[in-house]
Structure formats: C-alpha cells, structure tokens
Amino acid sequence: MNLLTLSLKNLQRRKLRTSLSMAGVAIATAALFSLLSFNTGFDRALQEEMANSGIHMMASTEGCPLEAASLALHGGEIPKFLDARRLPEISDMPGIRTAAGMLIFSLIEDEGKAIFFYGVGDNYRDLKPHWKIRGDWFTGPDSIILGAEAARVEKREVGDKVYFPGIDAEFTISGIVERTGSEDDGFFFLPLDTAQKVFKKQGKLTAVGISLANVEEFEQVKGKIETLPDVYVVTKDQIMQQISSLTGSSKTLMAAVLVVALVVSFLGVINTVLMSVFEMLREFGYMRCIGASPGHIFRIVLFETLLLCLAGGVIGAIFGMAFASVTDQWLHNLLPYAPAGRFILFDPLIIAASILFAALAGVLAGIIPGLKAAHASPMEAVRNV
Amino acid sequence: MSDLITLNKVNKTYRRGREQVHALDGVDLTIQQGEFVAVVGPSGSGKSTLLNIVGAMDQANTGKVTIANQDVTALNEKGLTHLRADTIGFVFQQFFLQPTLTARENVLLPTLFTRQKYLESRADELLARVGLAERADHLPDELSGGEMQRVAIARALINQPKILLADEPTGNLDSHNAEAIYGQLDELHDEGLTIIVVTHSEELALRAERRIHLLDGRISDDKTQGKTRVA
C-alpha cells in the first residue's frame, strides 16, 4: 500500500458521488475529444472530398466568385450568372480534362423548407467518381436524380414521379445517389438544359467545375481562363478556405459549449473533493498525529482528484470513440457544409491529448481541497463534534 | 527509571468567544519511562489539553515541555511531526480506522508517513497480539467496536513508540469489550511501555499505577496507587 492506493480507496468510500463527478469529467472529455477530432477531421474530410471530386478550380462570374464557388458546392442560390457560351470555350482549352457547367436554383416549399436543384451536364459525373447511383443517369429531359436524403424525405423510389408545384413541373426519378454523407444527399439533380428552361435561365450557368489533365499546368490554365470576359477563377484551396470560414461560427459555438462543460465539470470535481475533505478533516487530523506531514495529506487529496479525473478522462475518450458515428451524424446535420466521410477517427494523439487534459484538470482541481486538507491540525482528531 | 516527559510551569490559554479560558495553569509534571498514568477530572478541567500538549499536538503558551529528551517548545512543525511519528502512539475514543482498508492495512497506515518499513509480518504480529490474527483481512465495518479499538491499539504500536497516549479508549465500548482493552493496556505496561490515559472511567483509572487529578487547569492530586487486576 502507498499514498496512491490510499487515495484510490478513499474514492471508493463515496461511490455515488465519485461516479457522478467521474461522469461529469467523462462527458467533458468526450466533448473535448470530439471537438479536437472534428477540427482535424473536418479539414481532412474536406480535402479528401475535394481530391475525390477532381475539381481543381471553379469558374464563375463577377461579383463574389468565391462565395459563388463555395455555394455551388454546398447549395445556395446566386443572383449572378455566367454566360453559358463560356462553357465550350473553357472545355476546348488545352490542359482541361473536364469542364462541367452547373445551374443552381432553390425553391421554397409550403413548409418553408428550401429545395436545391442542380442543373448538371452529363460530364458532371466525371467530377463525382465516388457516386454510386441506384437506377440510371438522366434518361431524358424530364428525368431527375435524387440524393439519398432527398429520396428518403420525399419517400420516393426509382421510377416514381415527383411533382413540384412551385415550378409546376413533374419529373420521373431515373436514379438515386446512394448516401455519400455530403451535401449531395439532399440535392435534386436535373439535366442542365431542363434546369435552364424550368428556371428560365437559358444560356446561363452558376459556375463551371474544372478538373485539369495535368495539375502542374494549374497557373497557365487559370491565367488563360481568366482572359475570358466576365470569368473569374476560384481555386480549390480558396474554396476550402471559404467553406472552413462558413463552419467557423459552428466551431466557435461548439468550443463555447465545450468550455462551459469543462468549467462545470472542473468545479464539480473541486466541490466533490472539497466535500470529502471537510468530511475527513478529523481523519486527516489523526493522520497528522501518526506522522503524516502537510505534504502527505496534500498528496493524498491531489492523487484523489488526479485519479478521479484520469478515470473520467479514459472513460470519456472511450465513449467519444464508441459514439463517434452518432457524433459524426449530428455534426453532418448541424454544419452548413459537411464534406463526405468521417470526421472522428481513431487518433492516438487526440486520445492522449484529451486524457492528458483531464489529468491536468485533476491536478489543478486538487490544489484548493489539497491545501485545505494539508492545513488540518492534529488537534482536529480530538476536537469535539 | 528515567524521566520521559517533563512539564515545567506550563500554561495554556485559549479564547472561547470573548472569554479567556485557562486550560492549564502552571502545570508541573514528570512522567517516568514505563509508568501507567491515568489523568482524571471533571469536564473542562484541562485533561484533553494536557494530553494534546504531551502528545505534541498542541503547543503551550508558556513553560517548557520535554518529551524523550526533546524540547517540544523549540521544535518546528516538521520536528513535531517526527516526534509524534517516532515516539508516540495514539488511541482515541473514535477509532479513526479507514473504512476501505483492511485491519492489516489500517495497522500499517502510519508506516506510509514515516521511515519505517511497510512490513505486513509486523502488522500480523501486532494483530495476533491483540487477538485479531484471524480478522486481519476484514474491513472495519465487519468488526465489533472492541475489535476496532484493538486494531487501533495495534496501529498505535506499529512504529514502536515509547509512549502510548489514549483518550477515553473505552468510551465507546461496552463493559465486556472495555475489559479486553484494559487487558491489552496492562500487558503493554508490563512490557515497559509508558501509557497515559485520559478517562472518565473509574474502572480504567484504577488499572493505572498513578492517578493525576486535574481541576481548573491545575493538578489537584497526584498519587501512586496499587493496580487493580482482574484474575
């Protein structure tokens, strides 16, 4: 037996109180683990998605091309349009592998919910190589492809018809994109010509997604495209930065909630240990009688909080991993733009950092109760109660 | 026999609200090695204050206290801690057993704080000595009051103290268990341990060879008496 095991056994004396405090630390650690994982996981997933999409740059019109490009990815209506005549001009440029035109429109349903329509050409599939379509690509001008979530909400299957009163148009579902975990899941894809006709934007495009045959020619191709009238080019990195800034407020909010959770759990641990110190003052007084120094008593209490927080930290990290898929799903629903793929993956460094943080909080939380206990005089043992 | 504890003109006052209480008033006392002393007197007479000072738990306001050749009044906190750990064993009315530690672990508790070796065999010897060899692995809530106090006595002896201080050691026990504790104290005294007990129990006071009576912070009577033993 040593001071550490004595502290451990002290914790076992108040099982319920210890368990509740440990649960508080576990929740805070799980939240910390999720946030740290999210911060790295989001950027990784975004990079992977951009890499998978094959889009190296996007062309849009004057105004706010950066916003247009990012909205083209995560859904949103842009009031300025690119002349569709630019599409073949871009496609014919040397060094271009794919140039896919897009027209994006939103429709507000009776319930106030926005439906996003993507008018896309056949070569759009080249920018989505990871798509798995149940059914077929567009089979005619009145066909439509639904994202997995859109199909689920509309309760539609391949071959069903879907009518949109807002534009007074009916389409036949030729295919449903299997769940990607990205914004694509909620979109309605129309043939580009049909979209231009339905939304009365013939000869107009929202943006052109471009992939290059050779990435080393990036600057040359970009320069050439920008010589076209009213065309502005936004690079993949710029789009990623724009998307990251869109999620910035969500990240700030989550960080704020996390700070509150950490503070509450920290105070909870101090309160728990302080209560136990008050209850044990006479015992500490007795320990002083039998040779314990103030340093011994301080260490007993400090080890107690350290063990409590360390155990809570380990449990929290395990729970964080165990519920990673639930947290992932929640974050995908919460964020204004969520790239496909998992945010929270097993990362030993993040797990270690979360547990270390909990342990550090334990040491800090132990200082006040530890000092209080260390001041216990041997006289406490004989004090009348 | 040599002097183990000496108190010269020891005064101890403390405040109780606005009132100044003279807990000890010019006390002179010498206790020799191997004595069995009972400190008796009415409540508020200064018995516990005397025990606190003799146990180096509290310091006198004036006067000189010497324990085992050490001038207690000159010791700092660290010196007092070492003196308590190495020289004195404490037994209180409340047993102060750690509820999550076994009897053996409770006996070994003081060794965590001192330079003594953590020897389970020594703890087992002491438990056997107080008749609890079979209860070494039991937790306090599995022991009777008398057994708990016997564990407390074994714990007080683990560091091989020169003095055993006991504050109402049978205060929480029935007569049967109290008798077992008296027997333990008698045995320890016979082996040469210096024992000082503060008690209201006349039965326990009669077991001591010397009785000190305190009244209003002063020694009103100090006499050697024949020890009462139960056959």
CB contact B14 to A (< 8 Å):
no
pLDDT in the model for residue A272: 82
Of A227 and A53, more confident = A227
d(CA B226, nearest CA chain A) in Å: 30
**Residue B43 is part of a domain; what is its CATH number?**
3.40.50.300
pLDDT in tens, B139-192: 999 998 888 988 998 998 888 899 999 888 888 777 877 887 888 888 888 888
Residue B70 domain flag: yes
pLDDT in the model for residue A73: 56
Residue B180 domain flag: yes
pLDDT in the model for residue A177: 94
Whether residue B231 is predicted with pLDDT greater than 50 in this model: the reply is: no
Rounded to an integer, the average pLDDT of B119-132 is: 86
Q: What residues of chain A lie within 8 A of the CB of B171, using their CB?
A: none
Greatest mean pLDDT range, A40-44, A61-65, A339-343, B212-216: B212-216
Compute how many other C-beta atoms are within 10 angstroms of the C-beta atom of residue A136: 12
Listed as own residue / partner, the contacts of A247-256 with beta carbons closer than 8 Å and 24 or more positions apart are A247/A42, A247/A335, A247/A336, A247/A337, A250/A334, A250/A335, A250/A336, A251/A38, A251/A39, A254/A35, A254/A38, A255/A35
Percent of chain B at pLDDT exceeding 70 = 96
Residue B73 domain flag: yes
CB contact B96 to A (< 8 Å):
yes
Residue B229 domain flag: no
Percent of chain A at pLDDT exceeding 90 = 23
Residue B1 domain flag: no
Whether residue B220 is predicted with pLDDT greater than 70 in this model: the reply is: yes
pLDDT in tens, B2-46: 888 999 999 999 887 788 888 888 889 999 999 999 999 988 888
The complex's ipTM?
A: 0.85
Tokens representing residue A345 in the block: 């993956």
pLDDT in the model for residue A77: 56
pLDDT in tens, A11-47: 888 888 888 888 888 988 888 888 888 888 887 877 7
Residues A30 and A319: beta-carbon distance below 8 Å? yes
* Extended strands (E) in B152-227: 163-167, 194-198, 210-215, 218-224
Closest CA to A230 of A94, A89, A124: A89
Q: What residues of chain B lie within 8 A of the CB of A288, using their CB?
A: 57, 81, 84
For chain B positions 25-84, those within 8 Å of chain A (CB to CB) are 48, 51-52, 55-58, 77-78, 81-82, 84
Pairing of strands A143-147, A169-177: parallel
Chain B residue with the nearest C-alpha to that of A380 = B57
CB contact (8 A) between residue B90 and residue A1: no
User: What value does the mean pLDDT of chain B take?
Assistant: 86
Whether residue A9 is predicted with pLDDT greater than 50 in this model: the reply is: yes
CB contact A9 to B (< 8 Å):
yes
Residue type, B190: D
CB contact (8 A) between residue B84 and residue A288: yes
Instruction: Report how many domains make up chain B.
Output: 1
CB contact B94 to A (< 8 Å):
yes
Q: What residues of chain B lie within 8 A of the CB of A10, using their CB?
A: 98, 100
Q: What residues of chain A lie within 8 A of the CB of B108, using their CB?
A: 1
CB contact (8 A) between residue A296 and residue B113: yes
Whether residue A332 is predicted with pLDDT greater than 90 in this model: the reply is: no
CB contact A3 to B (< 8 Å):
yes
Q: What is each CA distance from B86 to A16, A361, B10, B90, B206, in whole angstroms?
A: 38, 37, 24, 11, 29
Phi, psi of A108 (to 5 degrees): -95, 120
Percent of chain B at pLDDT exceeding 90 = 26
Residue B201 domain flag: yes
CA–CA dist A322, A34 (Å, integer): 11
Whether residue B229 is predicted with pLDDT greater than 60 in this model: the reply is: no
Residue B163 domain flag: yes
CA–CA dist B16, B33 (Å, integer): 35
Residue B2 domain flag: no
CB contact (8 A) between residue A381 and residue B105: no
Residue range(s) defining the domain that contains residue B190: 11-224
Chain A residue with the nearest C-alpha to that of B100 = A9
CB contact A63 to B (< 8 Å):
no
pLDDT in tens, A87-130: 999 999 998 989 999 998 888 776 777 788 999 998 888 888 88
Whether residue A261 is predicted with pLDDT greater than 60 in this model: the reply is: yes
